[in-house]
Structure 1
Amino acid sequence: MVERRLTLGILAHVVLCLGVILIVFPVYLAFVASTHTSQEIVQAPMPILPGDNIWASYKGALLGEGAGGGSQAAVGRMMWVSLVSALIITIGKIAISLLSAFAIVYFRFPFKMACFWAIFITLMLPVEVRIGPTYQVVADLNMLNGYAGLTVPLIASATATFLFRQFFLTVPDELVEAARMDGAGPMRFFKDVLVPLSATSIAALFVIQFIYGWNQYLWPLLVTTKEDMYPVVIGIKRMLAGGDAANDWNVVMATAILAMLPPVLVVILMQKWFVKGLVDTEK
C-alpha cells in the first residue's frame, strides 16, 4: 500500500511539473524575447537565453519609444488606464452585488423573487450578446474614450449577486434579532455584521473580477479610439502592424510581460484570502 501511494505521489508530481513547464515556458520565451533586439528575435533559431537589451526594451515599452509600424502609446499610460478600469469594475461589481443581495434577502417588497430572477437571467445576456445596443447607449451619452464608457456597462454582476445572496441566506436569524434588539438599523447591520462576515467572499471575488476587468478586450476595442485611453491589452494589439519586420517584437514582448505583472501580484498578495473564500465550508 505504501509503495502504491509513493508511485501515485511521484506520478502526480510529474504531471504537475509538466503542467508548470507547459504554462511557464511561453512566458519565459516572452521574457527572453524582451531582452533581445527585434532583429535577433526574428532570426532562426530564436535565442532561448536572455540577452543584454532588457533595459532598452522595457524603457521603450514604458515610454512609447518603439520604432515599429504600430501604435507608439506609452505602456505606462496604458497600464494606468487598465488599472483604473479594473478597480472601478471590481469595486463597483462588489458594492452593487452586496447591496442588491442584501435587499433581496432582508427586505420585503412586491415581486422580490421576480426581481431576483430578472437579475439572474442576465447571466444569459453577456456583453457580447448586447454589445450593439450597449455601444449605442454609450455613444449617445458621450461616454466613448473615457473611464465611464470602459467601466459602466461592465459594472453589474449577476454572478456576484447570486453568490452573496446564497451566503446571506446562511447567516443565522439570531444575528438579525440581536442587531435589532441593539437598535441597529438595516444599514448598520449591513455595515457592521454582513460585510465583515463576507470578507473572504469579497476577497475571492475581488481577485476574479480584477483579472476579468484587466483582461477586457472586446468592449475596450469598440469604445476607445484614442491612444491615451487604450488599456494595455488593446495596446498590445495596436502595436502589431503586420509583418515581422514592421514590428518591434522586443517592445511587444516587454509590454506583454508588464501586462502580466498586476494580475500576478493581486493573486499572490490575496492568495490566502482567495483560497479561503472558495473553500470555506461555512459558505
Structure 2
Amino acid sequence: MATETEPAMQADALTLRQRLPSNLFMHLGILFSIFAMSSPLILALIMSTQTTSEVYQVTNLGIGSQGLANYDIVLTDYNFATYLWNSFVMSMIIVVGKVGLSLLAALALVYYELPFERGVFMFILLTLLLPVPVRIVPLFQLMADLGWTNTMLALTGPYIASATAVFLFRQHFMSIPSSLVETAKLDGVGPLKFLFGVLIPMSKGMIAGVCVITYIYSWNQFLWPLVAVTDKSSQVVQVGIRYIQGSAQAGLTQWGLIMAGAVIALLPPLVVLIALHRPLLRTFAIQQK
C-alpha cells in the first residue's frame, strides 16, 4: 500500500513546487525588508495613541487609550499648527528661491561665454564643503547685524543658493541638443525667453525632482532655526517637537505627544514625496517600467 502512495506523494510535491514562484525567497526578502523599514513608523503610530504610562510598558504594543486625543493636544496646547505653517512657508520660499537662482546660474554656465567658466563652476562645487552647520557662527552674526533674527529672512536666506541644484541643472542643460540653441539664436530668442520657453518645459522632470529634494531638506531643518529664531511663535515644526520633549510630566518624557507631533510633521513631506516620486526617481536616473 505504501508503494502505491509514494508516487502520488512525489507527484503532489512536484505540483506544489511548480506552483511556487521561482523567486519566492526574493519576494520574502523584500517583504521582510519593507516590514523592517516600516516598523519604526508603525511603532510611532502606536505610541502616538498611548498615554505616558502605557508607553513605558514595554510589552504594550496595542493601540492606546488616548486614541486621537494626543494629536488634538499637540495641535492646540502646543501651538503645533503655527509651527507647521512656518515650516510650510519656509520650505516653499526656499524651493522657489533655490530652483529659480539655480536655473539662472546653470543657464549662465552653459550658454554664456564666461571668463574662467570652469573655475567658477569648481568654486560653486567647493561650497559643498561649507554647509550651513559649518558656517553657523558667522551666519548668525550676519543675521544679527542685518536685523533679520526672528524673521523668515533668517530662516530662508542661507539656503537659497545651492551648488547641488546648480550642478544638476547644468548637467541636464548640457544634454539638450545644441541644434535647439542654434535655432533659437537664428530666431532671435533672448536668454530669458529661451529659458522659459525651451529649457524649463524640457526640464520639468528634473525641476520637479529638485523641488522634492529641496522641500524635504528644508522641512527637516532643526539646528539653524533653533539658533536663528528665539521667538516660539516663529519657530518651525522640528523645533516644535523639541519643545514637546522638554515638557515632562511627573519626571517622565511624554512620548505619546512626541510621537503624535512626529507623525503630524511627517505627513506634508510624505504627501509631496508620494505625489512627485516619479520625477524624483528620474532625477537620480532610476528607470521605472
Following the alignment from structure 2 to structure 1, what is the Cα–Cα distance between the partners of residues 29 and 151? 45
The separation in 1 between residues aligned to 2:92 and 2:83, in whole angstroms, is: 14
Amino acid of the residue matched to residue 75 of structure 1?
F
Structure 2 CA distance for aligned equivalents of residues 212 and 122 of structure 1: 17
1:112 corresponds to which residue? 117
* Change in CA separation of 1:50 and 1:99 when aligned onto 2, cut-off 3 Å: same
Q: 1:23 aligns with which of 26, 29, 37?
A: 37
Q: What is the CA–CA distance in structure 2 between the aligned matches of 1:190 and 1:15, rounded to whole Å?
A: 46
Q: 2:194 aligns with which of 162, 171, 189?
A: 189
Q: Does 1:135 align with 2:140?
A: yes
Deviations 1:238-265 (A, max 9, x none): 2122767344332211101001101110
**Native 8 Å contact 1:32 1:47 kept in 2:** no
Q: What is the TM-score with the length of structure 2 in the denominator?
A: 0.86
Q: Counterpart of 1:240 in 2: which secondary structure?
A: helix
Contact 1:31 1:253 in 2 (8 A): yes
Q: Separation in 1 of the partners of 2:130 and 2:115?
A: 25
Structure 1 residue 266: Cα displacement: 0.5
1:87-119 deviation digits (Å, cap 9, x = unpaired): 111221111111001001111232322222211
Structure 2 alignment gaps of length 5 or more: 1-16
| Mapped pair 1:153 → 2:158 | yes
* Matching residue of 1:68: none
1: CA distance, partners of 2:102 / 2:59:
48
* CA–CA separation in structure 1 for the residues paired with 2:26 and 2:182: 50
Q: Which runs of 4+ in 1 moved over 6 A?
A: none
Q: Give the aligned partner of residue 64 of structure 2.
A: 51
Flag the structure with larger Rg.
2
- Asked if the contact 2:247/2:254 (under 8 Å) is kept, the reply is no
Unmatched 5+ residue regions in structure 1?
A: 66-71
5 Å matches for 1:1-283?
9-42=23-56, 44-63=57-76, 65=77, 72=78, 74-241=79-246, 245-246=250-251, 247-279=253-285
Post-superposition offset of 1:213 = 0.4
Identity, % of aligned positions: 38
Tell whether the 8 Å contact from 1:201 to 1:278 is kept in structure 2 after alignment. Answer: no
Number of residues of Structure 1 aligned to a counterpart in Structure 2: 269
Choose 236-245 or 162-171, whichever is displaced more.
236-245
Q: Which residue of 1 aligns with 2:4?
A: none
